[in-house]
Amino acid sequence: MEIFKSPTGNKLSCKGWQQEGLLRLLLNCLNPDIAKDPEELVAYGGTGKVARDLNSLKAIIEALKTLENDETLLIQSGKPVGIFRTFEFAPRVIMAGALLVPRWANWDYFQELSEKGLTAYGQSTAGSWSYIGTQGILQGTWETFFQVAKRHFGGSLRGKLVLTSGLGEMGSAQPIAITSNGGVAIVVDVDRAIVKKRLISSMIDIMASSLEEACEIAKEYISRAEPISIGVVGNAADAYEAVLSYNIKPDVVTDQTPAHDLKSYVPSDLSPEEARELGKTNPEMYEKIARDTIKRHVLAMIEFKKRGSVVFDYGNNLREQGHRVGVKDAFCFPGFASEYIRPLFCEGRGPFRWIALSGDPEDIYRTDEIILSIFKGDGRLKEWIDLVERRFAFHGLPARVCWLNYKERAVFGNIINEMVKLGELKAPVAITRDHMDAAAVASPFRETEAMKDGSDAVADWPVLNALLNCASGASLVGLYHGGGVGIGYSIHSGVTVIADGSREAQKRLDLVLKADPALGVIRYADAGYEIAKDIIKSAVFPAKAVE
């Protein structure tokens, strides 16, 4: 197998840092230390691919290496389709991925097209090459569990039990996010190798030999109000039913199995290997038993809710999958975004991230110092940086994630560019974000669920977001379909700007990092949220809202 890894250092293999930065991000997504299945070009999230196939990947690499500073490469669902003369300030790469005309936007038809080699599923940051491994999701997960603690338990999960599942690329952020908020986590995953991998990399504290043992250990730690994360091998549906039968009432129940995609969700009574085999030999049977398992999984979560646990869907479309197989009240528990993340989006606060293209961790530590010095009063930011520096080894290109708001992003982006210009960092830095951001996504079962004005399914916003980021001169802009919740359920956009220390980059950063989150604030103000309505009236708001 050919191993792809990002180049590091400050030597260019492309004709400019804009192209070089994007090339490094692409290859970084395939680094075996962070990618789920590099051989299949899958970065994370079930089957989220960075390129359509190996030939496309090689062609993209070649195109980026020869791309001029006034050209733009177009990528259609992971396949490069053309290079156009644009202008220096235009994006170097524009992408559209997994988009289908709405009438045809379902998994079965998508799969048919995918098998014909006509499209590819990019999830969110896999398709737009800004995936950075588990840290990318850790802060969002940490923030979610903090909001859960604040809303229901006085600000801490100390002495509280969280039952969840899925230790995959996203899901493995859960144990640290729970324990660092003080709680005890039992995390069920069907794949023994994955649970072991998370143990070795210290993403979980211990691996229990059975669910009974996991519950015993949890009880002990809860009685002492000490945090611990316990990984255990099992199928989520079986394990949740078993916990109900033990009469244990977890304080919080959620899950991050890949329920958005039946083909990745492992049915009860099968090992991951058996599931893979059945998926190939008898896909109809596979889907049937996966559906039966999802039904039991959702019914168990509803029963936990009835017994008084705080239950929420963690962004994998589990409720809709349950609803489709006949669980009428599948939506009786909420989704995490509408419940806990919305107030943050109203102030244009979202998962901002930056990646040291030098490959040198010191570049990130240096930016950590600077961010703490410029946003001194932000206690949560300090807690986060302390946590992530203590608990997290870098994998692939060193990167950092911080949830910054509409004012902070441009300030910090400009400082990073200045640091590159002054030679304080060893090479340029890529500045990007998750697609789960205020203006960037329409996803009625996740980020835009239960909007105040009922605009849950209005997908103009992410399209406007992508167009605006192109007009503002981002280095890469992408528009995607199906991330997080699967085909038919979301439209979302990605954006990256390479801070190479130049004046041109400064202009790109200033425009994009203001416009991108400001559109988010406008989107939430338009939907009637008071926090956002107040912000757009403020003198420092970087856009004029037209009402």
Q: Segment 95-134, which members bind ligand NAD (CB under 6 A)?
A: none
Question: Cβ distance 7 to 13 under 8 Å?
Answer: yes
Among residues 135, 165, 493, 506, the one that binds ligand NAD under rule CB under 6 A: 165
- The partner residues of 350 in beta bridges, in order of sequence, read 404
3-state helix, strand, coil split of the chain in percent (to 5) is: 45, 15, 40
Tokens found for residue 32:
């075996």
Determine, following the binding rule CB under 6 A, whether residue 190 of this chain makes contact with ligand NAD. Answer: yes
Q: Give whichever of 50 and 259 is closer to ligand NAD, judged by the CB atom.
A: 259
Cα separation, 242 vs 210, whole angstroms: 11
Query: Is 189 labelled as part of a ligand binding site?
Result: yes
Look up 14 and say whether it is catalytic.
no
> In the bound complex, what is the minimum distance in angstroms from residue 250's beta carbon to ligand NAD?
16
DSSP state of 10: S
- The partner residues of 44 in beta bridges, in order of sequence, read 48
Tokens found for residue 187:
């995390």
CA 348 to chain centre: 17
> In the bound complex, what is the minimum distance in angstroms from residue 261's beta carbon to ligand NAD?
7
**E strands in 303-427:** 310-311, 350-356, 399-404
> In the bound complex, what is the minimum distance in angstroms from residue 127's beta carbon to ligand NAD?
12
Q: Which of 14, 215, 402, 470 is catalytic?
A: 402
Query: Is 340 labelled as part of a ligand binding site?
Result: no
- Region of 154-162, 184-192, 490-498, 526-534 interacting with ligand NAD (CB under 6 A): 184-192
Query: Is 265 labelled as part of a ligand binding site?
Result: yes
Site string (263-302) toward ligand NAD, x via CB under 6 A:
-xxx-----x--------------------x---------
DSSP state of 472: T
Query: Is 286 labelled as part of a ligand binding site?
Result: no
> In the bound complex, what is the minimum distance in angstroms from residue 372's beta carbon to ligand NAD?
25
Among residues 160, 260, 481, 492, the one that binds ligand NAD under rule CB under 6 A: 260
User: Which residues lie below 8 Å from residue 170, measured CB to CB, with a gap of 6+?
Assistant: 44, 45, 134, 137, 256
∠ CA 107-238-140 to the nearest 5 degrees?
Answer: 60
Question: Cβ distance 434 to 402 under 8 Å?
Answer: no
Determine, following the binding rule CB under 6 A, whether residue 340 of this chain makes contact with ligand NAD. Answer: no
Which ranges of 121-163 does DSSP label H, i.e. alpha helix?
Answer: 135-152
Residue count, binding to ligand NAD (CB under 6 A): 35
Among residues 16, 78, 133, 171, the one that binds ligand NAD under rule CB under 6 A: 171
Cα separation, 115 vs 23, whole angstroms: 27
Q: Segment 405-464, which members bind ligand NAD (CB under 6 A)?
A: 436
Question: Cβ distance 262 to 291 under 8 Å?
Answer: yes
φ/ψ (deg, to 5) at 150 = -65, -45
> In the bound complex, what is the minimum distance in angstroms from residue 122's beta carbon to ligand NAD?
12
Q: Which residue is nearest to ligand NAD (CB)?
A: 168
Determine, following the binding rule CB under 6 A, whether residue 167 of this chain makes contact with ligand NAD. Answer: yes
Determine, following the binding rule CB under 6 A, whether residue 169 of this chain makes contact with ligand NAD. Answer: yes
φ/ψ (deg, to 5) at 209 = -85, -15
Q: What order of strands is seen across the sheet that includes strand 310-311?
A: 206-207, 228-233, 184-189, 161-165, 252-253, 310-311
> In the bound complex, what is the minimum distance in angstroms from residue 428's beta carbon to ligand NAD?
27
Q: Segment 197-236, which members bind ligand NAD (CB under 6 A)?
A: 235-236
Query: Is 240 labelled as part of a ligand binding site?
Result: no
Determine, following the binding rule CB under 6 A, whether residue 314 of this chain makes contact with ligand NAD. Answer: yes
Q: Give whichever of 80 and 350 is closer to ligand NAD, judged by the CB atom.
A: 350
Q: Give whichever of 258 and 413 is closer to ligand NAD, judged by the CB atom.
A: 258
> In the bound complex, what is the minimum distance in angstroms from residue 260's beta carbon to ligand NAD?
4
Question: Cβ distance 114 to 120 under 8 Å?
Answer: yes
Query: Is 484 labelled as part of a ligand binding site?
Result: yes
Cα separation, 60 vs 530, whole angstroms: 44
Question: Residue ranges for the binding site for NAD(+)?
Answer: 45-46, 123, 189, 235-236, 265-266, 314, 484
Catalytic residues: 402
Residues near ligand NAD (CB under 6 A): 36, 44-46, 137, 140, 165-171, 188-191, 194, 235-236, 256-260, 264-266, 272, 293, 314-316, 436, 484
Question: Residue ranges for the binding site?
Answer: 45-46, 123, 189, 235-236, 265-266, 314, 484
